[in-house]
Structure 1
Amino acid sequence: MDIGSKKIAIKDRFTLILGKFKRELFQEYLNQEFVQIIEEADLIPAKKLVNYFQNQSDELKGLDNSLKILDFLTNYRKIVEYNLEIFAKFNKIIEIIFSTFRYEYLSERKNQLIVELEFAEKHKKSSELSAIVDLINKLKESIKTNKVKLNYIKEDYFQRKNQIDQIKENLAISEDKIQELNQIKKKCFSQINRITRQIEGSTTNQENDSMLKLGNDDKLTNADKIRALQKKAKETQYEINQIKSRSKQIKGELEKLFPHFDIYKKDYEEILESIKDDEKRIRVLQKEYENEIHANEETQIEEIKDLLETPIRPSLEIKEEISKINSELEAISIPEDFLSADNPSNLRVVLDKLREIDDILRSNDEKISIHRNEEEISNIFENYDIFESVIGDFEGILNDFLKEINLEINFLLVINDTNTSFYLKTNFFRNNKEKANFEALTTPEKIFFIISFFISTGVVLGHDNIFFSNLFIPNIYNKGGSIYRTIRKILPIFETNDKLSKFKLIFLMSNLELKKEINNIKLIKV
């Protein structure tokens, strides 16, 4: 490499060149944005950081396009906000239309209720008719309530009834089976007696015929027949005992079912009877009601028949509904410039407002439509992805160095209050716990960070030869002891980390005395 008029051969991987140099000699290695970034280390302007990277790498040329994403999103936000503003106006008109329709409906419903109330009040004058109607309504309400109760217990009642009926049927079948088996057992013993008499010679031909009908084989000896019949009788008795045992168990289960079933049965029959009584009573009352109307005013009979099909509601109930409608009508708010007091159903003003919105949508295309240049937008997002990737890689390499002094850095991309610029906020952590900003770091920590920052840039950008000089940093951080301690800690990382094996480090130190040698570094004094 050339330093002024001198040529220095760099053969070693790590080289430290000491001398007295002027900053101008290293202009090709110095990036002015680096100093500006260090001066704003707590909140780094993304624009400067982007320039810092792309000015050192042809591959990152155009990286500043990534920052246009903010302009794109800001413009997108303005368009969305304008659309929301128009939507709010449109929504307001729709709400007014709904309120107008609701107002009209409630007004009409109120008029109907007033007529219904007059009709109810007219019929209320006759105490007998009113009493009949009230009683009919009460009976209908009672029927309705009882039907609900009936449906509630109906399924459980019939389920238990069917269960009990099934058990009774099974018990009856078991009893029939026991009787049948007893007959078989009886016949077995009867035949044993007959065979015994046969052996004694007192058997008649008729008895022999009867024995043959029972199915015993004539080829068997009498002793075999007796044993077979005894076995049959024993097996039959065993089966009888089994059936009796099962029947006893089933009877026990049946006894347990009866108490609950009796309750359900009693309730079910009482409710059913009550419904039938009420229905019968209603038919009688309806007939009485018609007779009363016939006696007083023949012309009302058709009206009363319709009334009986739709029960008259109590006046109080109608008044309560009218009161609720009045409250809702008072709560409906329609701007005076939208509603015509003389003709509330006139929607001319509302329609005019809708036309205004339609005109806005037709004449403000730039404000409401997002005109996309897909290639440009794609380029912006691709560069933004590259920017994020570079920052992520940069943070990872930087932390590989910072962990040597128990520090860790976290970059957070933020936007300023006016939504016009990106910034990279730096957060430091000591021992993974204590949080600090750049200004809170000690001077040695700051110097370590600055040198690591510069070297990490070269690593991320893939520079085979990374040059660093104390002339690149602000004078307040030009501390020889801290700089050399940083170099001593960084070199072993490059030696042990395979990802860093291709990089060479060249340190150019001006007017900084090296009091203690650094291992594994080529020292050149100029």
Structure 2
Amino acid sequence: MNLNNKESDVNLSISLKNLEINIGPRKITIKDRFTLILGKFKRDLFKEYQNQEFLQVIEKIDLIPAKKLIDYFQNQSDKLKGLEGSLRILEYLTNYRKIVESNLEVFTKFNEIIEIILSTFRYIYLSERKNQLVTELELAKKHKKSSELSAIVDLINKLKESIKTNQSKLNYIKEDYFKRKNQIEQIEGNVSLLDDNIRELKQIKKSCFNQINRITRQIEGSTNKQENDSLLKLGIIDNLTNSEKIRALQKKAKETQYEINQIKSRSKQIKEELGRLTPHYDIYKNDYEEILTSIKDDENRIRMLQIEYEKEISDNDETRFKEIKDILKTPVRLSREIEKDISRKNSELEAISIPDKFFSADNPRNLKESIEKLKEIDELLRNSNENFNIPKNEKEITLIFEKYNFFEDIVKDLEGILNNFLKEINVEMNFLLFINDTNTSLFLKTKFIRNNKENVSFEELTTPEKIFFIVSFFISTGVLLEHDNIFFSNLFIPKIYNKGGSIYRTIRKILPIFEANDKLTKYKLIFLMSNLELKNEINNLKLIKV
């Protein structure tokens, strides 16, 4: 291939097969693994090397059409000529979707007819049930009086049963109740007697002190008969001297106080016992009185109901009375319950919606229109088998998925090669394969992760990161396609990414990877750069200026 550089008036030819470059009369053979050729060339001179399909692939990095990537791979490698077969999965899914949609459409029609039939059956059932309830309501109203009498009898029986139950409860606690009642009353009596004794002794004690006070105010021997009688009542003889009387009265008061203390101690013990017994007694008392009150109330209620019942019976003749007796044997539902059921059935009937075409209120059992629709659906399924059945060509389907899986593997390999380079700038990317809603196009959606935590799109990458990705992407495709000699130029990529500093920075970072990775040792990299000055040399990169 001859490239004519009009600006430098130099004929340039490059043979990638022999790795030879002819610059005018000068012939250069590229022997080094990594070579950089610097010059000033026009973009048109590189059209033969400038892969338009690659430009289409990177045209929209965030969402790459799989068809463009496959075309690029097929044109670059004979081994991948049949890769476009992987896209047949779209045709398969489209046909599959049409069949599913056809089945869904028929099923929807079938389901609508079945819903109409079920709604019709339910309408018939509810109508008949409503009629039964109306009849039941008429019967309930007719026997309303009998129902009321039945309720009186039921209530009387329940009250009698309640009295019987309460009487049993009363008998059960009666003995314990009176036993505890008598015990409490006896204890309370004892307490009362002790309190009386204490009061009497306190009075004696008081009299003793009164006599002592009186004696101390009188002269020896000046007592009268009334005073002597008071002393005798206290057990003091009258022939004692005043001092002897005082000592005797003091002794009597002391003995009386001792006796008071003894009685108080006994009274305290009895009251403590009363305090322990009283709560239990109160429980029995409350229960007993409540049960007794309940029995009396029920008995009064029964007497009133019997009067009411006898009055109602007296207003009916013998025939009516016999009818009442029969009604009492068979309970009848209350009218309001039946009316509620009728109201609910009316609400359910009103909620049923059936197209007029399929339903007639005068003849709801007529299902002719619904049956005709079911026949039409059956006929459609019988005569259009290919529109509703999924083909069972397993070999063909297996081949389609094998080719698709092969394409997935290639994408995965490309992703792995790319990430070997991208990790140098702390970026990781993933290709996500997905199919559009109409199953007509397959896409590769790119997802970038910066510093192992920040999810970003391609457009959110910095310009140096974008250029690093573009250059790495181009070189990665060469590795994937096993091109031993990978030739890259800044004229192969869009002008917005033609930044010398970022491109050389990318080359500087990926060359050590090619040197260190055993799987990359066979590849040679040739970089031909136009109008991009290299300010600092790159290790292990042969520099040729033209």
Could you state the TM-score of these two structures normalised by the residue count of structure 1? Answer: 0.63
Following superposition of structure 1 onto structure 2, how do residues 110-259 of structure 1 map, counting pairs within 5 Å?
110-124=130-144, 126=145, 129-135=146-152
Q: Does 1:316 align with 2:333?
A: no
Cα distance in 2 between the residues matched to 1:325 and 1:393:
68
Specify the alignment match of 2:189 in structure 1. Answer: none
Conserved 8 A contact 1:467-1:506: yes
Shift of 1:433: 4.8
Q: Does 1:347 align with 2:362?
A: no
Shift of 1:488: 1.0
RMSD: 4.3
Conserved 8 A contact 1:402-1:449: yes
Specify the alignment match of 1:297 in structure 2. Answer: 319
Specify the alignment match of 1:238 in structure 2. Answer: none
Following superposition of structure 1 onto structure 2, how do residues 341-490 of structure 1 map, counting pairs within 5 Å?
341-416=361-436, 419-490=439-510
* 5+ long unaligned stretches in structure 2: 1-17, 163-279
RCO comparison, higher one (Cα < 8 Å, 6+): 1
Specify the alignment match of 2:187 in structure 1. Answer: none
Shift of 1:495: 2.1
Match of 2:433, SS state, is strand
Cα distance in 1 between the residues matched to 2:405 and 2:39:
43
Cα distance in 2 between the residues matched to 1:474 and 1:451:
11
Equivalent residue letter for 2:333: R
Match of 1:55, SS state, is helix
Alignment counterpart, residue 529 of structure 2, candidates 505, 509, 523: 509
Specify the alignment match of 2:213 in structure 1. Answer: none
- CA, structure 1 residues 331+300, in 2 after alignment: closer, same or farther (shift >3 Å)? farther
- CA, structure 1 residues 142+421, in 2 after alignment: closer, same or farther (shift >3 Å)? farther
Equivalent residue letter for 1:106: L
Cα distance in 1 between the residues matched to 2:21 and 2:521:
30
- CA, structure 1 residues 139+400, in 2 after alignment: closer, same or farther (shift >3 Å)? farther
Conserved 8 A contact 2:19-2:30: no
Cα distance in 2 between the residues matched to 1:404 and 1:143:
97
Following superposition of structure 1 onto structure 2, how do residues 327-346 of structure 1 map, counting pairs within 5 Å?
327-346=347-366
Shift of 1:452: 0.3
Q: Does 1:500 align with 2:520?
A: yes
Conserved 8 A contact 2:421-2:510: yes
Alignment counterpart, residue 93 of structure 1, candidates 113, 117, 134: 113
Shift of 1:135: 4.1
Specify the alignment match of 2:53 in structure 1. Answer: 33
Q: Does 1:75 align with 2:95?
A: yes
Q: Does 1:104 align with 2:121?
A: no
- CA, structure 1 residues 343+141, in 2 after alignment: closer, same or farther (shift >3 Å)? farther
Shift of 1:482: 2.9
Conserved 8 A contact 2:140-2:335: yes
Shift of 1:475: 3.8
Conserved 8 A contact 1:19-1:510: yes
Cα distance in 2 between the residues matched to 1:459 and 1:351:
67
Equivalent residue letter for 2:51: N
Conserved 8 A contact 1:3-1:25: no
Which has the greater radius of gyration? Answer: 2
Cα distance in 1 between the residues matched to 2:53 and 2:155:
92
- CA, structure 1 residues 21+325, in 2 after alignment: closer, same or farther (shift >3 Å)? same
Conserved 8 A contact 1:137-1:311: no
Shift of 1:328: 1.4
Conserved 8 A contact 1:448-1:483: yes
Conserved 8 A contact 2:487-2:525: yes
* 5+ long unaligned stretches in structure 1: 146-258
Q: Deviations over 1:144-191 (max 9, x none)?
A: 99xxxxxxxxxxxxxxxxxxxxxxxxxxxxxxxxxxxxxxxxxxxxxx
Could you state the TM-score of these two structures normalised by the residue count of structure 2? Answer: 0.61
Shift of 1:338: 0.8
Equivalent residue letter for 2:491: L
Cα distance in 2 between the residues matched to 1:111 and 1:29:
90
Shift of 1:466: 2.5
Cα distance in 1 between the residues matched to 2:394 and 2:517:
42
Match of 2:400, SS state, is helix
Equivalent residue letter for 2:474: F
- CA, structure 1 residues 304+29, in 2 after alignment: closer, same or farther (shift >3 Å)? farther
Shift of 1:355: 1.1
Match of 2:527, SS state, is strand
Conserved 8 A contact 1:4-1:25: no
Equivalent residue letter for 2:507: I
Cα distance in 1 between the residues matched to 2:346 and 2:428:
69
Cα distance in 2 between the residues matched to 1:343 and 1:30:
80
Shift of 1:465: 3.1
Q: What is the aligned residue count?
A: 393
Equivalent residue letter for 1:38: I
Conserved 8 A contact 1:55-1:61: yes
Q: Does 1:518 align with 2:538?
A: yes
- CA, structure 1 residues 121+469, in 2 after alignment: closer, same or farther (shift >3 Å)? same
Q: Deviations over 1:443-477 (max 9, x none)?
A: 43332222100111122233333232333223443
Shift of 1:519: 1.0
- CA, structure 1 residues 143+446, in 2 after alignment: closer, same or farther (shift >3 Å)? farther
Match of 1:95, SS state, is helix
